[in-house]
Structure 1
Amino acid sequence: LINKLTIQYEKSQEENEANRKLIKSLTEQLDQANATILDLSAQIRLMAAQKYGRSSEKRKPDKKDDHDQPSGPSAKTPAPGASARKRPVRSKARKPKESLEDLIKKMNLPVTDELHELSEDQRICSVCGTELTPIGRKLVRHEVRYIPGKLEIIRHYSVSYGCPECKRKSRDPRYLPGEFDIHPVMAKAPESLLFGKWVSPSLMALVITLKALYQLPVHRV
């Protein structure tokens, strides 16, 4: 009997260890996905800033207008010949615009080519009826695609175990009452992150990440 209970206990410990490893692996995968989301969001903000950022032609707020300059006798007048000694203004070399390929490389994201082809009934020449064959391809547009993760409900069951032999002997009149206890042995399930809540460590990590990403209050997670 003791050996049997020992084997059952060791088996339950192995199952619990396997479950802990699985939870750790899933949490690491979620953390990696969240890091990718943060990096992608930063790259999108960079692209938006480059495309819709402040133009150099706009007036800077710290620059004063001509009518704000002092006038009258107290205003300083340039000395004669000062304009002749004025140094020529050097034009700044304009920074070359970043190419699309360089921007894609900087984003460090996998690139997948998606080909849109004609159906078989459309691959017919309208003039002679010959089957059309591919001769090239044209780039139409780019897009950044995000595939969200999957949520699922996990129902944790604690398996209870009982000894059939003790149960049989407890009903045998040859044995004293209470000589053989028949109370069940309950396997221990992983404790909840928040008591009475459905939240898991991976879901909590996702919620905190999204709140930080969208700058939402975190006092009520």
Structure 2
Amino acid sequence: MTEPLYKTVIGTLIDRIISGELVPGAMLPSEHDLGTELGVSQGTARKALEELERRGIIKRRQGVGSFVAVRTPENAMFQFFRLRNPDGTQAIPDLAEEAVSSRNAAACEAGQLSGAPEKVHEIVRVRTIGGARLIYEKSVVPAVLFPGLDQRAPLPNALYALYQQAFRIAIVRAEESIRAIAADQETASALGCAVSRPVMRVERKAFDIADRCVELRSSFYVTDHHAYGISLS
């Protein structure tokens, strides 16, 4: 079955972003110029750009043009950190502890991450809100896609901005599963709470603009005074 032309345009632009030909913030060709360059109609080019905008890969400014989306610490935090204060406002975490290491990938990790990597970087963090240790998280990424990440510690609070700026990996969506569990010894020690204390566990798979799974993250939350907020539409 022949791939629709607009998807071919999307693939071409994504390849250019991944390669670094189109960097974050770069202006894309106009619909007319893109259509001429790739041998498609202006309508096909427009459909491709609309889809890229819907997926958060580009931003379009009326009367100005289309630009590769820039992941900043602020918008990364707003989009992917979901803990909310009692009044519904977004909670802002502070980084309390961090350890970054490289190791062999576990079979379950290699089976989920793009490219079935042999080596991964693991980021272990404890984060606080208002001075209280409320979040314990482990993030695992393929070492081949994030060369030298283990040499960059301490890492910034918002990892996804770093992923794009330093490694050209732009996270655009995530899949999560949420469960209430009893804290094990490791989690209790990290959060300074009792073993078997109820905590919320969130398992995340994060995907980049090429729809590759590039991060696995396990987060454990104490939610006595906070909620995990999700907007549905």
TM-score grouping bracket, smaller chain normalisation: under 0.3
Larger radius of gyration: 1
Between Structure 1 and Structure 2, the one with more helix by share is 1
